[in-house]
Amino acid sequence: MTLGERLVEWFLGSRRDLPWRRQRTPYTTWVSEVMLQQTTVDVVAPRFVTFLDRFPDIKALAAAEEDDVVAAWSGLGYYRRARGLRRGALAVVERFAGEIPSDEEALLSLPGVGPYTAAAIRSLAFDLPAPAIDGNVARVAARLFDDDGDVGSATTRRRLQAHLFPHVPEGCAAAFSEALIELGALLCRPKDADCSACPVAEFCGARASGRVSQLPVKRPPKRARPVLSARGWVERGGSLLFVERPVDASLLPGFLELPGRWGPEGEEAPDVVREVLEGLGFDGVCTYEPVAEARHAITHHRIRSVAVRADVAGPAPRGCRFIPWDQVDPERVTTETRKLLQAREATA
């Protein structure tokens, strides 16, 4: 029995009962794969079911209002994924008559679809030999083929995918791809691989070389850089000033945040806030003491957020608006802003 056949046989007898496996279509596969990015299976499973109840097919998702899609995504975080998924659905309806394509180039042309998601849709939903390389599969493949390349590198992942292609059993591409994912989740774990229970241990190059615990290789993350985020706290008649992030922003497009910007830790927050508010077009800007502080991290930055009380004159310029406290939607503000609002409320 070949590596691929052995792996598929094990999977068919050991697979977990997950909701996206019960209704495997191109649409449900796409939704589940986007949800599973940076979110655990246990968190995704119930949200997947309720999301499909609300948007049962690609046309329903494309026809929905963006706010409704974001609301249905509540609890999963990283709301940019929900917005990207809806934009992809719109593109499928407009360009492919509502039918998700199986062609790799066509899939990659869709908003929010990268190489991994395209491969997942092609292999899992269309049963095409296109193993999708996520973190679990990269670890399994690196060990199977005793490959010590950096699995965070696109070059290494392409090489691992090329190694896997010859082992896809005829007519079992979907089961083979799912088996790789399952093996990484259940047995070929990062720190405590259960080689004694592995169905393909005899094919494993890392086991033969004694390097299971040393693979995969992943270069260390960049050191986080400290950042000061100075934000203006401008109240007027029970309302608070917000600005809306550009729709083409790389992070959280369209979300609301307190006016301000990032900068080096050495800057003075009141000076930064005054500069930002004047740049937005406000007159008579006066800044005072900080009223709230919060910390969080994003990518390679450690952010210290400081909200500085400020007064301004005149109406709100374009892109700015005062929102009553009781009408601020916590799902439409950035994480940083939500933390500052909570910190202010705790000290008020």
pLDDT per residue as tens digits for the range 196-252: 999 999 999 999 999 999 999 998 877 889 999 999 999 999 999 999 998 777 778
Distance of CA 173 to CAs 89, 117, 130, 167, 263, Å?
25, 15, 7, 10, 49
Model pLDDT, residue 224? 86
* Contact by Cβ (8 Å): 194, 252: no
Model pLDDT, residue 300? 84
Residue 166 shares a structural domain with residue 273:
no
* Domain assignment present for 49: yes
Residue 299 has pLDDT above 80, yes or no: no
Residue 148 has pLDDT above 80, yes or no: yes
Residue 17 shares a structural domain with residue 116:
yes
The identity of residue 45, as a single letter, is A
* Residue where one domain finishes, among candidates 214, 236, 268: 214
* Domain assignment present for 308: yes
Q: In what order do the strands lie in the sheet with 225-233?
A: 260-263, 225-233, 301-313, 283-298
Residue 18 shares a structural domain with residue 89:
yes
Model pLDDT, residue 249? 77
Residue 25 DSSP one-character state: -
Model pLDDT, residue 298? 84
Model pLDDT, residue 88? 95
Model pLDDT, residue 28? 98
Q: Do the strands 225-233 and 301-313 form a parallel or antiparallel pair, or are they unpaired?
A: parallel
Residue 186 shares a structural domain with residue 265:
no
CATH number for position 208: 1.10.340.30
Model pLDDT, residue 166? 95
**How far apart (Å, rounded) are the C-alpha atoms in residues 44 and 347?**
35
Two structure tokens written together for 230: 């100075």
Model pLDDT, residue 252? 82
Expressed as residue numbers, the domain containing 296 is: 225-347
CATH number for position 284: 3.90.79.10
Residue 122 shares a structural domain with residue 241:
no
Two structure tokens written together for 243: 């600005």
Model pLDDT, residue 347? 81
* Residue where one domain finishes, among candidates 152, 185, 214: 214
Residue 185 shares a structural domain with residue 256:
no
Residue 122 shares a structural domain with residue 160:
yes
pLDDT tens for each residue of 86-138: 999 999 999 999 999 999 999 999 988 999 999 999 999 999 999 889 999 99
* Contact by Cβ (8 Å): 193, 187: yes
Model pLDDT, residue 176? 97
Residue 131 shares a structural domain with residue 259:
no
Model pLDDT, residue 248? 75
Model pLDDT, residue 80? 84
User: Is 33 known to be catalytic?
Assistant: yes
Model pLDDT, residue 222? 77
Model pLDDT, residue 13? 95
Q: How many domains does the chain have?
A: 2
CB contact set of 192 (below 8 Å; sequence gap of 6+): none
Model pLDDT, residue 89? 97
Among residues 33, 178, 257, 336, the one annotated as catalytic is 33
Q: Nearest Cα to 175, choosing from 119, 132, 124?
A: 124
Model pLDDT, residue 139? 97
- For the entire predicted model, the pTM comes to 0.67
Q: Nearest Cα to 274, choosing from 258, 261, 285, 288?
A: 285
Q: Nearest Cα to 242, choosing from 256, 260, 261?
A: 256
Residue 3 DSSP one-character state: H
Model pLDDT, residue 216? 96
* Domain assignment present for 288: yes
Cα 73 versus chain centre, distance: 12
* Domain assignment present for 219: no
pLDDT tens for each residue of 307-316: 999 999 989 9
Cite the DSSP H helix spans in the chain: 3-14, 19-22, 26-35, 41-54, 58-63, 66-72, 80-96, 104-108, 115-120, 135-144, 154-164, 173-186, 205-209, 269-280, 335-347
pLDDT tens for each residue of 58-88: 999 999 999 999 999 988 888 889 999 999 9
Residue 149 shares a structural domain with residue 240:
no
* Domain assignment present for 220: no
* Domain assignment present for 37: yes
Residue 140 has pLDDT above 80, yes or no: yes
Residue 305 has pLDDT above 80, yes or no: yes
Rounded to 5 degrees, φ, ψ at 312 are -135, 160
* Contact by Cβ (8 Å): 203, 239: no
Burial class of residue 276 in the structure, from the number of CB atoms within 10 Å of its CB (0-12 exposed, 13-18 middle, 19+ buried): buried
Two structure tokens written together for 194: 């259960």
Residue 165 shares a structural domain with residue 279:
no
**How far apart (Å, rounded) are the C-alpha atoms in residues 119 and 107?**
9
CB contact set of 331 (below 8 Å; sequence gap of 6+): 70, 71, 74, 79
* Residue where one domain finishes, among candidates 214, 249, 265: 214
Two structure tokens written together for 340: 């500052």
* Domain assignment present for 237: yes
pLDDT tens for each residue of 10-51: 999 999 999 999 989 999 999 999 999 989 999 999 999 999
Residue 15 shares a structural domain with residue 71:
yes
* Domain assignment present for 273: yes
Residue 174 shares a structural domain with residue 279:
no
